Chains A and B, each alone.
Chain A
């Protein structure tokens, strides 16, 4: 075998193809005429055979018992409460931002309750009366937005109102999920997610 790997000889992929008996006819022909490549495939095959014959080793007899002594059967792994490995400034800023935005919208709507009710006419009265906290929060959050006046006319129809309400709830849910993700420590190398 030469110390270089000239072009037109077998490539690494050709070697794999050779071992799985899928070498192209062109390269098979080359192999018949090239001493270097023949030596290469013979040596490579020997390497693979030696690797394939490499024994497997057993740990000591108490191996499984020692593991089981430290495994909690049927219980989720404890999440270390104080382990927040990536408390970066950006992470904290994002958390504070999301939380402050949500809190501000709730506070504003609490202070301006009467104004809000005057905005939302009769068609929304039934929905108010359901008392569903999420729904109310959704509407008040919506009303807190600067663009609310502009689209208020849309709210006249219950269908539109429903759609907008759903959107608002989705926004709140996204905010909550974002907060949850920011607050939860990463599972590190244990998780097989995306493994």
Chain B
């Protein structure tokens, strides 16, 4: 089945997925074209290694596209892709036990006072020098600040404020209660404000 790539660009995700289900290779490529940058950027910022991010993003697309026949259109295609990408990144981070030694206090800190008080210690954690060299691309102030967030906060804040997803979509993607997503995002913003302020005060 052949579909002109140009004509695919105006179609919605659901329409392109429907064509993919019918066996259009162009439709598969269009789905990759639409999401390769956002997915790769999310994973790259999560794992902070270009080669690894590329492998994990690639696996994400292979999983999604090989399961496209089972896709249920009542869910956003983008949510599905981001969900699988985020799972891949989080699984990897857990396996490597990177970043999981939390110095910023309990993720269950539930009062703003506790959150802010515990968040003050995050400067103690950082990348190794090797990673610092590897990740020159992610060397900007905000990128470095993002890298210091715990992975759960990092995916939430990236999805919300870099990818522009709603709280509800993120809750659905990450299988988290809406309240937890809001809490993670506000804690992340709180930590970023402190890091930003500290950078300016230096």
Residues of A within 8 A of B (CB): 1, 3-5, 11-13, 15, 40, 43-44, 46-48, 50-60, 63-64, 66-68, 70-77, 187, 189-193, 195
Question: Would B21 and A74 count as touching, CB distance under 8 A?
Answer: yes
Range for the number of chain B residues in contact with chain A:
35 or more
For chain B, what secondary structure do more than half of its interface residues adopt (helix, strand, loop), or is it mixed?
Answer: helix
List of 7 A-B pairs having minimum Cβ-Cβ separation, nearest first: A74-B23, A5-B112, A51-B161, A12-B186, A192-B80, A50-B142, A77-B66
Q: How far is it, in angstroms, between the C-alpha of A15 and the C-alpha of B87 when the chains are bound?
A: 29
**B25 an interface residue at 8 Å Cβ cutoff?**
yes
Q: Is the CB of B116 within 8 A of A3?
A: yes
- Per DSSP, chain A at the interface is loop
B47 located at the interface, meaning its Cβ lies under 8 Å from any Cβ of chain A in the complex:
no
Contact indicator A71/B72 (Cβ below 8 Å): no
Chain B: CB-nearest residue to A9? B112
**Known contacts A3-B120, A57-B41: A46-B70 contact under CB 8 Å:** no
B127 at the interface (CB under 8 A from A): no
Residue of B nearest to A74 (CB): B23
Shortest distance between the CB of B184 and any CB in chain A (Å): 11
**B143 engages A191 (CB within 8 Å):** no
CB atoms of A57 and B40 under 8 A apart: yes
Q: How far is the CB of B80 from chain A (nearest CB, A)?
A: 4
